[in-house]
């Protein structure tokens, strides 16, 4: 065995041990994979938005594990920064015609059943509450969940085992500010009790969670490679019993808790077929991914009565998706091992079935407003010359969200993305390295949503429960006035923050550097 072979074997042992240790560490923490990977694409090497077809690296462990046998073994590290600038503007309401009156706490329906839930007076939201229990104003769209700059640590490993017959890879993006975050909000009038604002449905806290993928692949024969990868689906169960000694003193309570975390995996599949010396074809399938939080709580009152309830939250949901990709080598180097002056055109098409989308409260859009299947095309070019590699990609992501003319306020836009980058491979002290950087820009095209009101064309085509809720029904009575007609009950009264409409648009800016120690 030569000295070089000995060094190679030592590196294999070292990085195999590192691979195993890092896999155990990451798999034992609450990581998952999905939205962030899909947004930023392959941020190691030349993957970009076409990482399902090109740029084999540790990122292939998520996008297409069948590319792992084509990736150079090594340890990959990087830093990626992402800034989101998404603006949501609500349309103005004219006059006080739609306001919920201040006497609503004493109102009930015509059959004496209570309003459920009882809305807040609009004046309380706009101007706050004065007196013994002060509350600051919380006007419509007064809370913005965008305008964030997040920094991520990227860790990747690729290795070959079983006499080089099997390739394994791991890829993770970890936010540096906090390991993970999950924030829920309602997409209808119930959000008046919380932020009283609208939030971007497919961004926001979906960009603030650590993500991980683990994959393995092998070549079936010379021209065909197949692979499988796994991402984590987390389910957190929290039980919170509360003892209330005095219903008028809710701050004087006793609380216990029990939290259980269970994990499952979502399998993903990939295939690479070299149909010709210049043509490569790929196919991938990704199964649904999400993180669920089940919260059960019970209240024990001092009179011995106990009430129980619960709610489920769903974060980071991604649906079934399937993709086809192709690459064509316009220029082929005379010696493929050197990759001198190689030029390739690449493209892919992703089908995503968003019809079963679950929002952060586990709700599914009603039939008339069900989300749609989408087709996402991407195109790009790759060029390698004298150790340098460059790439440029473009992707168009249509929104699956239909027009929000009814009760719900799912905020989303068509998106166009561009990414470009460069890598450089070099040898230092008999060791191979790769360094690179990339920049990306996403444009969320302006979209204006207007709600339907009774009498508008198309209003009667929708089910009544899908329309904006009249929070003070026209038969409401005033219990404080001997059951007389409630003041301001005629017509529509609502605190739905999306009424009578809203617009949204924005940009996302990303960039990062990466470094790989190859062996």
Q: Is it the case that residue 2 has pLDDT exceeding 70?
A: no
List the domains of the chain with CATH numbers: 9-229+268-287+316-518 (2.40.160)
Beta-bridge partners for 422: 390, 437
The answer for residues whose C-beta is within 8 angstroms of residue 351's C-beta and 6 or more apart is: 321, 322, 323, 373, 374, 375
Q: Is the backbone peptide bond immediately before 117 cis, with ω within 30 degrees of 0?
A: yes
Residue 462's pLDDT band (cuts 50, 70, 90): confident
Mean pLDDT estimate for the chain: 89
Q: How far is CA 129 from CA 120, 126, 136, 140, in A?
A: 11, 9, 7, 16
Q: Computed from CA positions of residues 441, 446, 452, 456, in that sequence, does the dihedral angle turn out positive or negative?
A: negative
pLDDT in tens, 327-384: 999 998 766 555 578 999 999 999 999 999 999 999 999 888 999 999 999 999 999 9
pLDDT in tens, 292-327: 888 888 888 888 888 888 888 999 999 999 999 999
8 Å CB contact between 137 and 128: yes
Q: Is the backbone peptide bond immediately before 84 cis, with ω within 30 degrees of 0?
A: no
Rounded to whole angstroms, the Cα distance separating 219 from 342 reads 23
Rounded to whole angstroms, the Cα distance separating 287 from 266 reads 6
Task: Specify the pLDDT at position 4.
Answer: 43
Task: Specify the pLDDT at position 335.
Answer: 66
pLDDT in tens, 209-247: 889 999 999 999 889 999 999 998 777 888 888 888 877
């Amino acid at each position: 065995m030569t000295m070089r072979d000995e060094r190679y074997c030592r590196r294999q042992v070292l990085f195999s041990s590192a691979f195993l240790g890092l896999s155990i560490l990451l798999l034992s923490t609450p990581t998952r994979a999905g939205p962030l990977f899909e947004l930023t694409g392959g941020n190691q090497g030349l993957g970009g938005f076409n990482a399902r077809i090109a740029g084999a690296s540790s990122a292939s462990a998520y996008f297409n594990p069948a590319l792992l046998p084509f990736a150079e073994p090594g340890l990959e590290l990087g830093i990626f920064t992402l800034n989101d600038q998404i603006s949501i503007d609500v349309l103005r309401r004219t006059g006080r015609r739609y306001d919920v009156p201040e006497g609503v706490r004493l109102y009930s329906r015509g059959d004496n059943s209570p309003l459920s839930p009882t809305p807040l007076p609009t004046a309380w939201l706009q101007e706050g509450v004065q007196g013994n229990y002060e509350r600051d104003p919380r006007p419509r769209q007064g809370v913005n969940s965008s305008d964030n700059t997040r920094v991520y640590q990227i860790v990747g490993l690729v290795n070959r085992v079983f006499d080089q017959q099997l390739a394994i890879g791991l890829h993770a993006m970890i936010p540096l500010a906090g390991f993970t975050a999950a924030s829920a909000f309602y997409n209808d009038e119930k959000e008046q009790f919380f932020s009283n604002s609208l939030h971007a449905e497919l961004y926001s806290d979906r960009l603030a969670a650590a993500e991980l993928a683990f994959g393995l692949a092998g070549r079936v024969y010379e021209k065909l490679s197949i692979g499988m990868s796994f991402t984590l689906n987390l389910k957190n169960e929290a039980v919170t019993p509360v003892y209330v000694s005095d219903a008028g003193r809710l701050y004087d309570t006793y609380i216990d808790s029990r939290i259980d975390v269970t994990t499952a995996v979502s399998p993903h599949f990939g295939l690479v077929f070299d149909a010709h010396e210049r043509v490569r074809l790929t196919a991938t399938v990704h199964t649904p991914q999400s993180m669920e939080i089940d919260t059960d709580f019970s209240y024990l009152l001092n009179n011995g009565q106990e009430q129980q309830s619960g709610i489920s939250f769903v974060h980071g949901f991604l649906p079934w998706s399937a993709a086809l990709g192709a690459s064509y080598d316009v220029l082929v180097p005379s010696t493929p091992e050197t990759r001198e002056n190689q030029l390739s055109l690449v493209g892919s098409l992703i089908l995503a079935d968003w019809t079963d989308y679950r929002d952060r409260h586990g709700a599914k859009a009603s039939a008339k407003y069900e989300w749609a299947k989408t087709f996402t095309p991407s195109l790009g070019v790759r060029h390698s010359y004298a150790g340098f590699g460059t790439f440029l990609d473009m992707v168009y992501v249509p929104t699956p969200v239909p027009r929000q003319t009814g009760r719900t306020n799912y905020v989303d836009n068509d998106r166009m993305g561009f990414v470009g980058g460069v890598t450089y491979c070099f040898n230092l002290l008999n060791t191979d390295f790769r360094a690179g950087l990339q920049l990306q820009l996403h444009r969320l095209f302006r979209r204006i949503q207007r709600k339907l009101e009774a009498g508008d064309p198309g209003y009667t085509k929708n089910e009544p429960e899908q329309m904006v809720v009249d929070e003070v029904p026209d038969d409401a009575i005033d219990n404080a006035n001997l059951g007389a007609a409630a003041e301001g009950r005629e017509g529509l009264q609502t605190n739905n923050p999306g009424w009578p409409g809203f617009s949204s648009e924005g940009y996302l800016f990303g960039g990062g550097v990466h470094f790989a120690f190859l062996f």
